[in-house]
């Protein structure tokens, strides 16, 4: 069945370092979405990518959708403590449902 794989599971960075999470789908996606979940919080929608090769930026966050529309990445430049949380990618399934990646937890080293 359709799968969305996301790596790494965790990433420890010093504040100010960059962070990247990668998402790979077993099937071509019509779009891919990214969500952020702060510790103790709920997932919050960040962005949706629709076009092949699309790149979108939100301040220090850069989102990419692969040419084949099967992979995506989220890159954070110069991480800050406010970036801490788990980042999920998700692709659409039937009936408006989403299939979720496992998430990548961003941990800032003290």
| Pick 43 or 66: Cβ nearer another protein | 43
Cβ 16 to another protein shortest distance, Å: 26
User: What's the full length of the chain, in residues?
Assistant: 110
Residue 100, classed as helix, strand or coil, is strand
Residue 24 as a binder of another protein (CB under 8 A): the answer is no
Binding residues for another protein restricted to 47-86, rule: CB under 8 A: 48
Residue 43 as a binder of another protein (CB under 8 A): the answer is yes
Which run of H or E residues covers position 56? strand 55-58
Q: CA dihedral in degrees (57, 17, 39, 62; nearest 10)?
A: 10
Q: Which of 14, 82, 97, 110 binds another protein (CB under 8 A)?
A: 97
Q: Which of 18, 41, 57, 58 binds another protein (CB under 8 A)?
A: 41
Apex CA 45: angle with CA 41 and CA 48, to 5°? 160
- Bridge-based pairing state of the strands 55-58 and 43-49: unpaired
Binding site for another protein (CB under 8 A): 30-31, 33, 41-45, 48, 88, 90, 92, 95-98, 100-103, 105
């Amino acid at each position: 069945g359709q799968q969305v794989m996301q790596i790494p599971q965790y990433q420890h960075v010093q504040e100010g370092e960059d962070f990247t999470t990668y998402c790979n789908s077993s099937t071509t996606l019509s779009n891919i979405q990214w969500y952020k979940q702060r510790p103790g919080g709920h997932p919050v929608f960040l962005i949706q990518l629709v076009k092949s090769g699309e790149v979108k930026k939100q301040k220090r966050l850069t989102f990419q959708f692969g040419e084949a529309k099967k992979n995506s990445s989220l890159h954070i430049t110069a991480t800050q403590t406010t970036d801490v949380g788990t980042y999920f990618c998700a692709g659409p399934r039937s009936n408006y449902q989403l299939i979720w990646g496992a998430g990548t937890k961003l941990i800032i080293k003290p």
